[in-house]
């Protein structure tokens, strides 16, 4: 300020001028702060328009969206009205309109989603040319989007793209339509041999996918008639009484008949194979046994475990496996402790599947049990130790199991990193996190706030900014946004904060109600973390509610047991939900031999199912029981709950059991 005043002026005048300038500067600062404050208020007001704009979008009110696009232009959420307008009828949009949006909002969650949705819509409409300019704007595609992108690349004349999607070629389990369409395109790929096409033909016949089977059959010169196949499907046993086997078409129809008969009785189907055995070409015989083995392995829910399934898989060995067939082989071999069969199953998998941590663990477990001469046994144990050592570097379910196999008990958590002022400053300047927090603060739909949050975490992860991720997790935790705090804290690579990964909200209530019914609060926390991530208002697609995701009928039963009247509001009440959930968990724990793995499976799938999956002849290691659970949801649920409980045990400093000690052994059915 002094440099604005001439040194020749009298001192009194200089003093007066300084006072006036100081007063003016103060006013200017205040005015600036007011302007900033006004801008913040205006931005927050614009943020709050989001929910009303979403209503307009849901009502296809484009004129209202135009108004909100103008009023929200200064908001971090300002791109949503335009996004909704473009999304209202994606298939009619030009590539230029979508490109305009994604280039104006680069590297943003909704630009990525718009580009991916546009590609899917255009692929479904058969307009591959319009989709092509958007491919480079999708950097984090899910499976359906990835397959749609693959179709566009294939139609652009890139046959090598098919090598990236071998996983869809032989898949018969449920998958996105874009992946099914990609597999159909692969039939004409020069990368697929006649043997590859034969395997797809037989696999599709096993699954009853007649359209795909007829298509690939035509490419092989094998004519299959829909009417005849439909007749065989309803008369499989009669057809097999005198089935011709001379031609490739005859052999395909024989396998189809075996598959349809196995749908109702694997034993009858196996009997038919045995009768034809001397007349069957070797590969046809092997695949026929593959069919009954696969059907037996995948009918556990209806028929229970069948020890013969492993033998049937063994008899099919030598004909290539699809990954889903090899996994079924592996799980059945694990269930029955057939360790050499486990090794064969893993050897039959694709390289990407073999590299999954699950199958590395089971390869190690099987290698550890390898028979033979002392030298072979020593090699197996050395290989197992090497795999366990690598697995133990991670903190997941298989890492904890591997530690136990090595005798390296996890007795304490590592040092937790506390975010710094600089971490929070970067967080405050990050537009992706700004959007996520803005959506949460206006109580927007979780489908939007979670998407922006997950995108923000991913961008920070790609920049290797663990500090900002943990700052975001810390702030989310302080706001009660527990599920996203955990999501963020789980995704750091070098810096970790275990208190944020394994939050303990509602601690007094969880400990009190767990103690009242005599169960471990670490186990209860492990279950809540898996069920709801501590979201009080969580609701499942089947109607389960609250922290412990209790079904209404279960809540009514618990209320009767406790002599209370039931209210539908009970599931939303934190205290009542924990009290009912711990009571029910304790009840099924007692019903199921006080075995926590059985009770965990029973909490998710029902105690009767958990009991039916118990062994019938001798106790079973809990990791074998868990891996052979026939429901994927329950299988993963048990793994996650027991992993969580192990870490919560360390946090509480009580009952610090290893995961193997927690899981124990599974007793025989009684």
Would you state the pLDDT for residue 372? 78
| Helices within 208-265 (DSSP H only) | 210-219, 226-234, 236-240, 248-264
The pair of three-digit structure tokens given for residue 459, joined into one six-digit string: 């961008």
237, two tokens: 């046993």
* Stretch 631-643: mean pLDDT: 98
In sequence order, the 6+-apart residues with CB closer than 8 A to the CB of 648 are 502, 504, 521, 522, 523, 525, 526, 529
Query: How is residue 299 written in tokens?
Result: 């009918």
- Interhelix angle 431-441/446-462, rounded to 10 degrees, is 160
pLDDT tens by residue, 523-565 = 999 999 999 999 998 888 888 899 999 999 999 999 999 999 9
Whether residue 30 is predicted with pLDDT greater than 70 in this model: the reply is no
Range in 195-204, 361-370, 407-416, 622-631 with the lowest mean pLDDT: 407-416
Helix (H) or strand (E) holding 140: none
Per-residue pLDDT at 490 exceeds 80: yes
Residue 283: CA count within 13 A, CB half-sphere: 10
Question: Picking from 16-30, 246-260, 474-488, which range would have the lowest pLDDT averaged per residue?
Answer: 16-30
Of 2-16, 72-86, 472-486, where does mean pLDDT reach its minimum?
2-16
Confidence tier at 16 by pLDDT (50, 70, 90): very low
- Kindly tell me if the per-residue pLDDT of 22 is higher than 50: no
Task: HSE, CB side, 13 Å, CA atoms: give it for residue 427.
Answer: 22
Q: Quote the longest CA-to-CA distance of the chain.
A: 123
Segment 417-435 shows an average pLDDT of: 98
Element (H, E) at 355: none
- CB contact at 8 A, 432 and 452: yes
pLDDT of residue 2: 31
Q: What is the mean pLDDT of residues 282-295?
A: 98
Which pLDDT band, with edges at 50, 70 and 90, does 31 fall under? very low
428 CB-near residues (< 8 Å, 6+ apart): 434
Q: Answer yes or no: is pLDDT of 98 > 80.
A: yes
Query: What is the number of H-type helices and E-type strands within the chain?
Result: 39, 2
Find out whether 101 and 83 touch, Cβ atoms under 8 Å.
yes
What backbone torsions phi and psi does residue 666 show, to the nearest 5 degrees? -95, 120
Which of 89-103, 367-381, 604-618 has the least mean pLDDT? 367-381
Percentage of the chain with pLDDT > 90?
Answer: 86
Phi, psi at 445, each rounded to 5°: -55, 135
Check whether 492 has a pLDDT greater than 50.
yes
In 3D space, the residue among 531, 470, 530, 477 whose CA is nearest the CA of residue 505 turns out to be: 477
Looking at residues 11-22, what average pLDDT do you find?
A: 38
- Between CA 188 and CA 508 the distance in angstroms is 63
Report d(CA 509, CA 497) in Å as an integer. 24
How would residue 26 be classed by pLDDT, with cut points 50, 70 and 90?
very low
Tell me: the pLDDT tens digits for 494-526?
999 999 999 999 999 999 999 999 999 999 999
Interaxial angle between packed helices 421-428 and 466-479, expressed in degrees from 0 to 180 and rounded to the nearest 10:
80
Residue 13 has what pLDDT?
34
Helix ranges (H only) for 59-193 are: 62-71, 80-87, 95-104, 109-124, 128-131, 143-155, 166-169, 177-186
pLDDT of residue 393: 94
- Cβ proximity of 416 and 497 under 8 Å: yes
- DSSP β-bridge partners for residue 550: 545
Where helices occur in 132-219 by DSSP H, the ranges are 143-155, 166-169, 177-186, 194-207, 210-219
Q: What is the pLDDT of residues 370-421, one digit of tens each?
A: 877 888 899 999 999 999 999 999 999 999 999 999 999 888 888 899 999 9
CA distances from 407 to 49, 219, 359, 649, 660 (A): 58, 55, 20, 18, 11
Average pLDDT score, the chain:
92
What local confidence, expressed as pLDDT, does residue 7 receive? 31
Measured at the alpha carbon of residue 56, what is the angle toward residues 103 and 447, in degrees to the nearest 5? 65
What tokens does 535 get? 């979201």
The structure tokens 């929070």 sit at: 424
Instruction: Please state the rounded mean pLDDT for residues 630-659.
Output: 93
For residue 621, list its beta bridge partners: 665
Q: Return d(Cα 665, Cα 127) in angstroms, integer.
A: 56
Burial 434-445 (b: 16+ CB within 10 A, else e): bbbbbbbeeebe
Token pair belonging to 219: 């490419």
* Cβ contact 361:398 at 8 Å: yes
CA dist 566 to 90, 447, 552, 573, Å?
Answer: 47, 31, 9, 12
């Amino acid at each position: 300020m002094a440099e604005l005043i001439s040194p020749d002026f009298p001192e009194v005048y200089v003093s007066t001028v300084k006072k006036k300038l100081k007063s003016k500067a103060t006013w200017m600062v205040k005015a600036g702060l007011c302007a900033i404050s006004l801008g913040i208020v205006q931005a927050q007001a614009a943020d709050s328009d989001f929910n009303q704009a979403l209503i307009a979008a849901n009502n296809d009110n484009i004129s209202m969206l135009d108004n909100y696009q103008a009023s929200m232009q200064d908001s971090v959420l300002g791109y949503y009205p335009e996004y909704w307008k473009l999304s209202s009828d994606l298939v009619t949009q030009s590539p230029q309109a979508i490109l305009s949006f994604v280039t104006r909002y680069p590297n943003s969650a909704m630009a990525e989603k718009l580009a991916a949705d546009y590609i899917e819509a255009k692929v479904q409409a058969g307009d591959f040319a319009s989709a092509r300019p958007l491919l480079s704007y999708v950097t984090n595609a899910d499976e359906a989007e990835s397959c749609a992108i693959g179709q566009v690349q294939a139609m652009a004349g890139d046959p090598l793209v098919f090598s990236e999607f071998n996983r869809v070629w032989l898949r018969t389990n449920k998958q996105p339509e874009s992946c099914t369409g990609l597999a159909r395109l692969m039939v004409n790929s020069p990368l697929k041999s006649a043997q590859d096409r034969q395997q797809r033909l037989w696999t599709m016949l096993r699954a009853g996918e007649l359209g795909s089977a007829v298509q690939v059959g035509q490419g092989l010169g094998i004519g299959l008639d829909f009417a005849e196949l439909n007749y065989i499907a309803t008369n499989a046993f009669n057809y097999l009484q005198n089935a011709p086997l001379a031609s490739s078409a005859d052999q395909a129809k024989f396998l189809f008949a075996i598959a349809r008969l196995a749908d109702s009785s694997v034993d009858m189907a196996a009997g038919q194979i045995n009768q034809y055995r001397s007349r069957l070409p070797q590969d046809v015989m092997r695949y026929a046994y593959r069919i009954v083995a696969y059907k037996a392995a995948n009918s556990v829910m209806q028929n229970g475990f069948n020890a013969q399934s492993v033998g049937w898989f063994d008899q099919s060995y030598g004909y290539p496996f699809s990954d889903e067939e090899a996994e079924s082989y592996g799980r059945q071999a694990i269930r029955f402790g057939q360790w050499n069969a486990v090794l064969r199953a893993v050897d039959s998998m694709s390289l990407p599947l073999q590299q999954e941590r699950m199958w590395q663990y089971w390869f190690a477990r099987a290698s550890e049990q390898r028979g033979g001469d002392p030298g072979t046994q020593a090699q197996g144990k050395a290989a197992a130790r090497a795999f366990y050592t690598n697995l133990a570097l991670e903190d997941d379910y298989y890492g904890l199991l591997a530690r136990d196999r090595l005798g390296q008990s996890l007795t304490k958590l590592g040092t937790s990193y506390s975010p710094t002022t600089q971490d929070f400053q970067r967080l405050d300047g990050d537009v992706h996190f700004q959007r996520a927090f803005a959506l949460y603060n206006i109580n927007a739909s979780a489908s939007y706030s979670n998407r922006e949050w997950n995108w923000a975490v991913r961008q920070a992860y790609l920049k290797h900014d663990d500090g900002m991720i943990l700052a975001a997790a810390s702030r989310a935790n302080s706001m009660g946004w527990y599920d996203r705090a955990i999501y963020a804290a789980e995704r750091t690579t070098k810096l970790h904060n275990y208190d944020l990964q394994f939050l303990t909200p509602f601690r007094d209530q969880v400990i009190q109600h767990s103690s009242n019914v005599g169960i471990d609060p670490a186990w209860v926390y492990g279950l809540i973390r898996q069920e709801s991530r501590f979201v009080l208002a969580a609701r499942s697609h089947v109607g389960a509610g609250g922290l412990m995701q209790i079904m209404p009928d279960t809540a009514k039963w618990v209320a009767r047991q406790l002599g209370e009247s039931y209210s539908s509001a009970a599931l939303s009440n934190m205290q009542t939900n924990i009290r009912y959930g711990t009571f029910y968990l304790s009840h099924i724990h007692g019903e199921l031999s006080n075995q926590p793995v059985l009770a965990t499976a029973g909490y998710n799938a029902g105690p009767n199912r958990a009991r039916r999956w118990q062994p019938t002849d001798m106790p079973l290691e809990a990791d074998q029981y868990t891996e052979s659970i026939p429901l994927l949801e329950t299988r993963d649920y048990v793994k996650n709950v027991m992993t969580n409980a192990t870490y919560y045990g360390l946090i509480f400093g009580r009952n610090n059991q290893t995961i193997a000690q927690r899981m124990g052994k599974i007793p025989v059915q009684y």
